[in-house]
Amino acid sequence: MKRPDRESAVEKRFYSRRMLRAAIVCAAALAVIVLCLLLERSESVSEFCSRYISRPIVWLMGHISSVFPFSLFEIFVFAAVAAALTLVVLFIIYCAGGFPRRGASYVTVLAAVALCVGAVYTLCTGFNYYRAEAPLPMAENDEYGKEDYAQVAELFFEDLTALLEKAEIDGNGNLVSPYSFDELNDVIAEEFKRLDDEYFGGYYTSYTPEAKLMASSELMSELHLIGITFSPLGEANLNAGVPVCDLVSTTAHELMHAKGVMRESEANLVSYWLLATSDNDFLRLCGYLELTSDMFMLTDTERHEYWAQRLTECRYDDVRGYSSRYWSQYTALRRISGFFNDIYLAINGQGGTESYNEGSQTEITFTPVYDDEGNPVYDESGGQIFESEIVAYSQIHRFMAEYFLG
Ligand SMILES: [Zn+2]
């Protein structure tokens, strides 16, 4: 059945003009997005645009948003969802009531606003995904051998156990931070000043925006989110409720995004390096906790068992256990955030959520073990025994080797 058209000639003209104006804005925003996507194909153009377009926008917006002590991003998300729902409802009501142009004009305005936000977001972040590799002081691939890396592991675990023994850990296994969140912001911002060294060639912007705690932390935990950086507002937003060790490492990770490092593996690598090589005991401990499994790969069976025992005595298992128990409470919405993060990273040319762990990639060869008669050796469960050997150390191994031995 055809719906009645009850719009007057004046209304028809007014809403048609509104739709035309909104359509022009949509086309301009789309043109900006497409232009950015074309420019991103070149690493040198991306590096240039990252430094001279994205960086000034984040600097400006970060200074404006830092005036507000709460997360503007959080308000923006709730306002955007409410506005989108309201406009869709209005569209349905107006179309059903015989005012199709009025309804359609609201939807076109909504599309124009969404595309403008998309264009600004692409200008702020898109180039950062395609710029040159983030520089970090790390050992060359063939600079150190197996014995050297075994020594790196010894030095790492000695320091880690000493730090754990000194650390305050509550009855549940949560680390007790010696800092308020504001103080933590200051301590991390101070640590980030190391990235201003000329060694890094100005790759990292010297501006470190303020990280903010979000009010909707419970919802964030349900979605298994610890932090979100929204570059158009120059804000790194953190989940206040998570275990302290997760909060500290993710604050550093999110601030790396705000400082122009968008690729997840590099935001992890540079933030881990900053924390793990810090002179500040608390930051170093939080960095080490992220690297423990990587460092265990450098130990033989005997030293592995020894350090595992020492870590248990120092309540390492309690700290990690508290974190796993915390996250295991939240299962209902877990897959949703992973699904959208995968799509978002794929749009930006990254390998989905797998890309977070690229800094841990280690090349290992497995050689079968034979007895004196040349027969393969099997373990008690009947599985053939292989000897493993690392032939290419990960970036994490190499920056820790540089730190301890360089
Ligand atoms: Zn990230």
pLDDT tens digit string along 262-282? Answer: 998 899 999 999 999 999 999
Q: Residues 239-268: what's their mean pLDDT? A: 92
Going by pLDDT thresholds of 50, 70 and 90, the confidence category of residue 359 is low
Residue 23's contacts (CB-CB under 8 Å, 6 or more residues apart) are 108, 112
pTM metric for this prediction: 0.85
Torsion angle in degrees (nearest 10) through CA of 323, 329, 330, 332 = 160
* 180 HSE (CA, 13 A, CB side): 2
31-54 mean pLDDT: 91
Quote the ligand 1 centre to 307 CA distance (angstroms): 31
Output the CA 154–ligand 1 centroid distance in Å: 30
- Cα 33 to averaged position of ligand 1 atoms, centre (Å): 22
pLDDT tens, residue by residue, 224-244: 888 999 989 999 999 988 899
190 Cβ contact partners less than 8 Å away, ≥ 6 residues apart? none
CA-nearest of 196, 195, 179, 197 to 187 is: 179
Ligand 1 mean position, distance from CA 311 (Å):
29
* 301 alpha carbon – ligand 1 mean position (Å): 34
CA distances from 222 to 73, 235, 330, 334 (A): 18, 21, 5, 6
Higher pLDDT, 217 or 159: 159
160 Cα–ligand 1 center, Å = 25
Report pLDDT for 372.
Answer: 83
**251 alpha carbon – ligand 1 mean position (Å):** 10
Task: State the distance from the centre of ligand 1 to the C-alpha of 65, rounded, in angstroms.
Answer: 20
Q: What pLDDT, in 10s, does the model give residues 114-148?
A: 999 999 999 888 899 999 999 999 999 888 988 99
pLDDT of residue 350: 72
Tell me how many degrees the CA angle 119-104-36 measures, rounded to the nearest 5.
15
Instruction: Determine the distance separating the centroid of ligand 1 and the alpha carbon of 229, expressed in angstroms.
Output: 8
Cα distances from 86 to residues 77, 82, 91, 398, in angstroms, run 14, 6, 9, 53
In 265-396 the beta strands, taken as DSSP E runs, fall at 363-368, 386-392
Instruction: List residues bridging with 187 in a β-sheet.
Output: none
pLDDT digit string, tens, across residues 276-308:
999 999 999 999 999 999 999 999 888 999 999
Q: What is the mean pLDDT of residues 317-327?
A: 87
